[in-house]
Structure 1
Amino acid sequence: MTSVDAIVEQYSRKSTPLKKRLYVGIGFIFIICAIIGIWIPGWPTVSWAVPAAYLFSHSNEKLFRWTLTNRWFGSALFDYYSTGKTLPKHVKTWIIVFITIMSAVSIWITDLAGDPGYGQAFIAIVWLIGVWFIYSKVKTRT
């Protein structure tokens, strides 16, 4: 796909009025987090914008179009959607590396805090689910 119109046409979905309001509200929370990431080093931007775009694609075509054309993260979202919701292999690898590092640090800090093991187990389970999802469910761009 080469145009925003084609992407909007393919990925926009209809929702009930209640779901529309809910999705727009949650989408704005994600957008606020994405905007914070523009100015705070280390805070992700596109990682927050992707779920916002997804929610807007199910609730508000105008906001979905805005996320695809935004000057800060629009090009990354456009690439993601125009290639069929795929990520380059090196990006998937780095995502898995960062998830692993942050999970290991979180497990270590939880251990230092004196947790009997429930927190570490929960973090490890979430880590496994995240790595599995990125590796197997997110398509790799060739």
Structure 2
Amino acid sequence: MAEARQHRSRWVRGLLWLGGTVSLALAALGVVLPGLPTTPFVLLAAACYAQASPRLHQWMLNHRWIGPMLRDWERDRSLTRRSKTVAVLSMAVMVSLSIWSFRGRVAVQLVLLATAAVGAWVVLRLPTRKR
């Protein structure tokens, strides 16, 4: 893997760094915006940084809040049943509140419902890890 990183052009590393940075920014927005997922963007940022900037990847692995999730993901490539339950239930609560706040705007409500369904589908299709 280190050899592959060394052979990547500066241009490719720059694009991967940009992708990781945009993904991390979207993950930060996902913390406060209902309906915007956080975890997939954190995982994407880590994958991009692993290829473009080992220093930033290491920073993410050692981060107090996202580090444990990333280390678990990189080790097992799965989520615990509890993590899946918390993720889907918190999405359901936040999307329900959002749908309620957009009452009377059926198109917006349908978009929120569709994005929540996709988010739940992504989480539920990931492998489940035993404790």
Q: Which runs of 5+ in 2 are unaligned?
A: 33-37
The range that moved more, 123-132 or 65-74, is 65-74
- What's the CA shift for 1:79? 1.7
TM-score, length-scaled by structure 1:
0.67
Tell me by how many angstroms 1:15 deviates: 6.0
Instruction: Decide which of 101, 107, 123 is 1:109's aligned counterpart.
Output: 101
Question: Is the partner of 1:107 in helix, strand or coil?
Answer: helix
Q: What is the aligned partner in structure 1 of residue 114 from structure 2?
A: 125
Task: Call closer, same or farther: CA 1:15–1:105 in 2, change over 3 Å.
Answer: farther
Distance 2:111 2:25 in 1: 27
Please report the TM-score for the alignment, with normalisation by the length of structure 2. Answer: 0.72
Distance, in Å, in 2 between the alignment partners of 1:122 and 1:16 is: 39
Matches within 5 A, 1:29-40: 29-31=22-24
Q: Counterparts in 2 of 1:53-64, with a 5 A limit?
A: 53-64=46-57
- Measured in 2, the distance between the counterparts of 1:16 and 1:102 equals 42
Q: Which runs of 5+ in 1 are unaligned?
A: 1-8
Q: Identity over aligned residues, as a percent?
A: 23
The 1:58–1:96 alpha-carbon spacing in structure 2 relative to 1, beyond 3 Å, is same
State the SS of the aligned residue for 1:22.
Answer: helix
**Is the helix fraction higher in 1 or 2?**
2
Pairing 1:91–2:83 present: yes
In structure 2, the partner of 1:81 is 74
